Each structure stands twice: as structure tokens, then as C-alpha cells.
Structure 1
Amino acid sequence: MLFFTSELKTYNIHAADGVMGKVKDLYFDDEKWAIRYAIVDTRKWLPGRRVLLSPSSFITLNENDKHLEVEYDKEKVRNSPSISEESAVSKDVEDSLIGYYGWSRYWTGNMLWGSNDRPLAQFPPAEEPQPEVFDQQLEAQSQYNLRSEDETIEFKVHADDGKIGTVADMVFDSEYWKLRYLVVQDSETYTKEQYFVYHTDQIESVDWFERDIYIKGTLAETKNVTKYNSKDMILTSISRSNRP
């Protein structure tokens, strides 16, 4: 199913022994645009810690009750590698989390989730790679950078010959946890809601420093698509268009 990332950040996260907190942000990689971690606001029970959970630890996304269920209890999360709220999520941090939880190394192999193609699959314990394999993994890992969904909202979106608008939301699928679409508010109609939707495959390049996203095509071509006067019908519309 398709969901807005903004909606996911209103969901509670349910550990095996109770509510853990809410989704505070999402980190995605800038190569395949897959959500690699949910950042959890753990509130008072685990202050001063940044908790990252891979989608491979998710069990269900409950749309009716607005919660995301994970397979761990709070003690498992409490004993995970400590990441301060101020520190960056470095490659060493990722490796420590993967080693602790046994998640798949998503940057290996040709599939979206490394050697496993489904983040919701139950992964076997990670095996210690041989030295030459480990070197290859490090080289592949260096090609990926994690980006914040929260910080990407309001990036300027451009066609080849002008500005289209700004990122208002993103759409992901709950099977592969990949960002599929950008929801862009038209720059000419800030006094009222009007949105365009672009598949992430249409992205030509991103300037992460200047906060600019470039979509393939001219302004005339990129605006010659369905316009939405509210976000309410976007998911229904694109879900219908993706049916066989």
C-alpha cells in the first residue's frame, strides 16, 4: 500500500511490550530512495538517545489504529548501540546497529535490500564476511548517503527551464519501504492548494546543499500532468493508475 511520509510521522511505534514512541523522522538513501531507518522519538523512557530502526524490524503497519509494530521489546532497544541526538549517523554507526540487530547490509548486491529483496522478511543472523568481501562492502557502502525526509520537505523542485514548486510530501510503499513519489506544491498557486506528483525515477539530479531537486523535462511537460487541489485524492489516484 501507499502512504504519505507525513502521515507515518503521526503513528505510534509499538514494541513487543508496549508503546515505544512516535516516528520522528525517516532516513533514506540518496541512490535508491529507499527508507533505511525510522528515527524514533522515545520520549521520557529513553532520553538523550537517537533510536534508529530498520524497516526489516517492522512487523505490521496498522492503518486503522495508526501504529507501527516492531518485533523488539523495549529492553532490546535500550541495550542497542548508543547514538547521541547530536551525533551524525556515520558508516560506523550503521555497522554497529547492523551487527547488534542482525539486519541486512542494504548496500550489497543488486537488489533494493542487498542480498534480501524484502525489508519485512525475517533475516537470518548476519555472517561475518571474508576480508575481501568486507572490502567490497565498504566500497559499495561509501556510495550511499543518508538523507532526512524532514529536511527534504520544502526543497525547491525544478524542470529544465524553470521552477515547478516545492516538496510538500513524499509517498512510500509499505512493502519495500521505497519512496515512490514526490508531492510538489505548485509555485504559482501558494494562495491555494495545487499539487503535482512525480515518480522518483523522474528525478534527474539533486543538489543537497542548495536544497534543489531537478525533474526531467521542460516546465510545459512537467506541468502537463494531473493537478490535485488537495492531497486527499492523490493516494487513491496513483494506486488506481498502478493497477494491472
Structure 2
Amino acid sequence: MQRSVNSLIGYTISAKDGKIGKVSEFYFDDHTWTIRYLVVETGNWLNERKVLIPHSALGLTDWLSETFQVNLSMEQIRNSPDTETKKTVSRQHEIDLYNYYGLPVYWGDVYNDGNVGIIPFPPMIDSISTTKENNSTKRTKEDPHLRSTHNVEGYNIQSNDGEIGHVEDFIVDDKKWNLVFLTIDTHNWLPGRKVLVSPQWIKKIDWNEEKVYVNLSQESIKNSPVFDPDVQITDEYEKELFGHYVGFINHIK
């Protein structure tokens, strides 16, 4: 099932032996667009400390009570490596975290730099690039391409012929934990309208300027199937949406 990422903020995280806090945001891999971590605010339990929970540590989810079960004990989480969530999570910290929990790592050598997930995203995602970041801040093994969903909200969306709005939310597949759509608020351009953009339609992202460039025209977006955030996304709607854009997308060489 596909769900709004923002609707998952505030979900309770329950360890094997008790509740530890609530979800405040998610970290995703910006090459595969897969959620890798839940950021949990522990409140009074750990003196307001935030902890990272690898998504691979998740157990069953109780959607009715809005609770994520994790296959970890409270003691394990209490003694886990500290994480400075306001800074980039380094690969070394990830290694320490996975080693501590005894979990298999998600990264591999599918990509040449070895810094991204083992499940590659569809080919077009390989075309995503940065502008200033490529020139001024070279990616290293200390930067595993992790991005905060909270931080990316608000990024401007630029079509081939003009700005269309900003990122308001994400849609996540609750089985595979990949981000299948970005929800775009077009209120300054199309008042009262929200549209969905697949990561496959992104041609580049300028992380410094906080802009996402999509390989779509304003006209194609304006005439896209109506999206209602209060209605569950169906397979039929997805087919209609992707079918609509087939004739508009200019494949990147």
C-alpha cells in the first residue's frame, strides 16, 4: 500500500520490551529513493536524544494504533552509537550502527562508488546529478547519499519551461519502503492543486539551491490526471498517470 510520509510522522516506535519514542523524520538514499532510517525522538526516556533505527530492524506494523514494532530491545537502543541528526550521517557511523545491531548492510558495489543501495532504481535515476555540489563538494565515502525527508520538503520544482511549485510530501510503498512519488504543491501556479512526480522523471537536483528539475513541461503537468491526497492511490490511477506522461517525457541522453 502507498502512504503519505507525513502521515507516518508521530507514529510510535515500540521495542521488544517497551515504547521508545515517536518518528520525527526519515532518511532516504538519494540514488535509489529508498528509506534507510527512521529518526526517533525518545522524549524523556533518553533525555530528548534522537536515535536512528535502520528500516531493516522493523518488525510488524500496527496501522490501526500507528505503531512500528522494531526487533530491538530498549537496552540495545539505549546503548546504540550516538547520532548527530543535524549533520550528515557518515558511512563510518552507518557501519558502526549496523555492526552494533548485527544487521546486514544495505550498500554494495552495484554502483561504482559503492555508496548506494544494493537495489538499483530504474535507469533514469542514474541521470540525476547535482550542479554546484559536484563542483564545490565532492562526494566521498563519508557521504552515503542520505537525505532527510523533512529537509527536502519545500524544495522548488522546476519543469522544462518554468517553476511549478514545491515539494510538500512523499508517497512511500509500505512494503518495499521506496519513495514512489513526490507530492508537489502548485498553489502559486495552479491554486488548490497538488500533483505527483515520480523520481524517474527527475533529471537533476541542485541540493545547494534546493531545486528539483523534472523532465516534464508545464502543459503536461497541468493536464495530468487529478490527484486527491485524501484518496488512496490505485493501480489504475498509476497506470493513467504514467500513461499520460509517456508522450511528454524527453529522455535524457
Q: Counterpart of 2:10?
A: 10
In 1, Cα distance between equivalents of 2:87 and 2:210: 22
- Structure 1 distance, partners of 2:143, 2:222, is 32
State the match for 1:198 in structure 2.
197
Q: Report the CA distance between 1:48 and its aligned residue.
A: 5.2
Structure 2 SS opposite 1:150: helix
Match of 2:233 among 227, 233, 237: 237
Structure 2 residue runs without a partner (length 5+): 120-138, 240-253
1:26 pairs with 2:63? no
Q: Is the 8 A contact 1:163 1:187 kept in 2?
A: no
Q: Is the 8 A contact 1:11 1:66 kept in 2?
A: yes
1:58-86 residue CA offsets vs partner (Å, 9 max, x unmatched): 01222211111111111010111122455
Whether 1:52 and 2:52 are equivalent positions in the alignment is: yes
Determine the C-alpha separation between the residues in 2 that align with 1:206 and 1:241.
27
Q: Is the contact made by 2:37 and 2:55 (CA closer than 8 Å) also made in structure 1?
A: yes
Separation in structure 2 between the aligned mates of residue 79 and residue 48 of structure 1, nearest angstrom: 15
Query: Residue 171 of structure 2 corresponds to which residue in structure 1?
Result: 171
**Partner in structure 2 of residue 162 of structure 1:** 162
Question: Aligned residue for 2:147?
Answer: 147
1:203 and 1:214 in contact (8 A); partners too? yes
**How many equivalent pairs are there?**
216
In structure 2, how many angstroms separate the alpha carbons of the residues matched to 1:86 and 1:2? Answer: 28
Residue correspondence of structure 1 range 66-215 to structure 2 within 5 A: 66-84=66-84, 87-110=87-110, 114=118, 144-188=144-188, 193-215=192-214
Contact 1:48 / 1:84 at 8 angstroms: preserved in 2? no
Q: Which amino acid aligns with 1:19?
A: K
Instruction: Provide the TM-score with structure 2 as the length reference.
Output: 0.77
- Secondary structure in 2 matching 1:45: helix
Distance in 2 of aligned mates of 1:140 and 1:178: 24
Q: Does 1:36 align with 2:40?
A: no
Q: CA RMSD in A?
A: 2.4
Residues 85 and 203 of structure 1: CA distance in aligned 2, closer, same or farther (over 3 Å): closer
Q: Which runs of 5+ in 1 are unaligned?
A: 116-138
Percentage of matched positions with identical amino acids: 29
- 1:155 and 1:197 map into 2 onto residues whose CA distance is 14
CA 1:86 to 1:161, structure 2 compared with 1: closer, same or farther past 3 Å?
Answer: closer
What's the secondary structure of 1:103's corresponding residue? coil
2:65 maps to 65
Equivalent position amino acid for 2:233 in 1: S
Give how far 1:87 is off.
4.8
User: Aligned partners of 1:173 and 1:146: how far apart in 2?
Assistant: 18
Q: Which digits, 9 at most, give the CA deviation of each residue in 1:67-123, with x for residues without a partner?
A: 1111111101011112245554112111100111122322204498538xxxxxxxx
Give SS of 2:180's match.
strand
**Match of residue 216 from structure 2:** 217
Distance change >3 Å, CA 158–CA 85, structure 1 → 2? closer
Which deviations, in whole Å up to 9, do the C-alpha atoms of 1:16-56 show, x marking residues without a partner? 11211111111111111111111000111112533101110
Q: What is the deviation of 1:200?
A: 1.4
Label 1:201 to 1:238 Cα distance change in 2 as closer, same or farther (>3 A): farther
Alignment partners' CA distance in 1, 2:117 and 2:14 = 24
The Cα of 1:237 is off from its aligned counterpart by 3.0
